Amino acid sequence: MNTKKTEYSILELALVPKGGTIKKTLNNSLALAKVAETSNYKRYWFAEHHNAEHIGSSATSILIGYVAENTNSLRIGSGGIMLPNHSPLIIAEQFGTLAHLYPDRIDLGLGRAPGTDPQTARAIRSDFMKAAHSFPKEIEKIQQYFSLENKSAKVRATIAEGTDVPLYILGSSTDSAHLAAAKGLPYAFASHFASTHLHNSLRIYEQEFKASEFLEKPYTMAGVNVFVADTNEEAEKLFTTVIRMFVGVLTGAKDPLQPPSPMTEELKGMYNHPSVHQMLKYSFVGSKESVKKQTKVFLEETGVDELIAVATMYSVEDRIKSTQLFGEIMTEINQEKPAYSYNA
């Protein structure tokens, strides 16, 4: 029997709703982080996206500082920094600075994807493809810059040396699982939109994991979409916003988040389209009781150490309520652990 506590966290994209502003959206991100802190969430991560009119999480490290400054205990980090977009030296300096300002609270999640379209990726960094292929070596550079041993090097990120900034490998395919296992780093899978390879990637990571100075045993995290409301019907209504968003992603539409509406047969048809349904497979939608059951099934199937909740909702008030209710759900699940086992 495995009675481990399951941590729970939030991934924030700072999505701008129809009629909203960037300023208000970023302020709402902070408001949600404060609620997450009081609801015992472990961490609050910002994603990195570019050339996306209705996404506010572009300057990830700045947003991390903004939220860290206005919270107290919540771990704040990147989910993730898309490393091929950046110089490892600059990232080490940025996160080393954050670590001095907010000690023992900063996480550095690293991904390989550009977080944008190919043309924008080339505008960010002309040698993006070369950097993407060199992702494992780029990670090693960051680790070197953070190490105390780098004090004797000619090129240093002096502000980063010796700071405690845990690294996490992010991914949506088996490639990232092999890499995280080989480097002995914690592994976060983007199953909130890329569900296909979740189980295989977790299996590869756990089987191939090599203990390192950073981590003694495997640590897995999985992204899930979470929509909790007072009733199943109300939660399904909130979920219509994300259905429309993912249909827009697949069709090339670039609209802001749309307000929720009753779940119609047309919307059900959109959701059940194979492409949409596959992307949103790991979505927990319903009342507190219903989402608790869905969450327990997922934990039984995966045995992950941590859930990263994503809530693409039009209203910040609805997000706050869902966040509070999911915090209650996870507290109850963890309290039930002595009589609750995983099929890890």
pLDDT tens string 62-95: 999 999 999 999 999 999 999 999 999 999 999 9
Tell me what pLDDT residue 339 has.
47
Q: State how far the Cα of 233 lies from the Cα of 15, in Å rounded to an integer.
A: 24
The pLDDT score that the predictor gives to residue 35 is 98
The pLDDT, as a whole number, for residue 194 is 94
Question: Which two structure tokens, joined as six digits, stand for 93?
Answer: 């300096």
Assign 341 a pLDDT band (cuts: 50, 70, 90): very low
Q: Domain 7-339 carries which CATH code?
A: 3.20.20.30
Helix-, strand-, coil-residue percentages of the chain, each rounded to 5? 50, 15, 35
Phi, psi of 307 (to 5 degrees): -105, 140
**DSSP reduced 3-state for 83:** helix
**CA distance linking residue 127 with residue 131, whole number of Å:** 6
* The residue type at 241: T
Under a CB-based contact definition with an 8 Å cutoff, are residues 224 and 232 in contact? no
Positive or negative: CA dihedral 181, 114, 106, 90: positive
Mean pLDDT on 179-208: 97
Which whole number is the average pLDDT over 7-19? 96
**Sequence-ordered alpha helix ranges (H) in 174-287:** 174-183, 198-208, 232-251, 265-272, 274-279
pLDDT, tens digit (0-9, with 9 covering 90-100), for 227-276: 999 999 999 999 999 999 999 988 888 889 999 999 999 999 999 999 99
Using pLDDT thresholds of 50, 70 and 90, give the confidence band for residue 127. Answer: confident
Q: Look at residue 3 in the predicted model and tell me its pLDDT.
A: 67
Query: Could you give the percent of the chain with pLDDT greater than 90?
Result: 87
Q: Please check whether residue 179 is in contact with residue 209, taking contact to mean a CB–CB distance below 8 angstroms.
A: no
Helices (H) and strands (E) in the chain, counts: 13, 9
**pLDDT, average across residues 154-182:** 97
* H runs (alpha helix) in the chain: 22-38, 60-69, 88-101, 118-124, 128-133, 135-146, 174-183, 198-208, 232-251, 265-272, 274-279, 288-302, 316-335
Domain locations in the chain? 7-339
CB of 101 closer than 8 Å to CB of 67 = no
Average the pLDDT over 24-31 and give the result.
98
Please answer whether residues 261 and 231 qualify as being in contact, where contact means their C-beta atoms are separated by less than 8 angstroms: no
Are the CB atoms for 46 and 63 separated by under 8 Å?
yes
pLDDT at site 190: 97
The reply to whether omega before 80 is within 30° of 0 (cis) is yes
Segment 301-321, tens digit of pLDDT: 999 999 999 999 999 999 999
> Is 50 exceeded by the pLDDT of residue 146?
yes
pLDDT above 70 covers a percentage of the chain that reads 97
Residue with tokens 């490639």: 175
Which residue carries 């993006």 as its tokens? 128
pLDDT at 174 over 90: yes
Scanning the structure block, which residue is given the tokens 């909702």?
A: 313
Residues whose CB is less than 8 angstroms from the CB of residue 95 and which lie 6 or more positions away in sequence, other chains included: 61, 106, 108, 160, 163, 165
The pLDDT of residue 4 is 81
Q: Kindly state the tokens that stand for 236.
A: 């399904």
Mean residue pLDDT of the chain comes to: 94
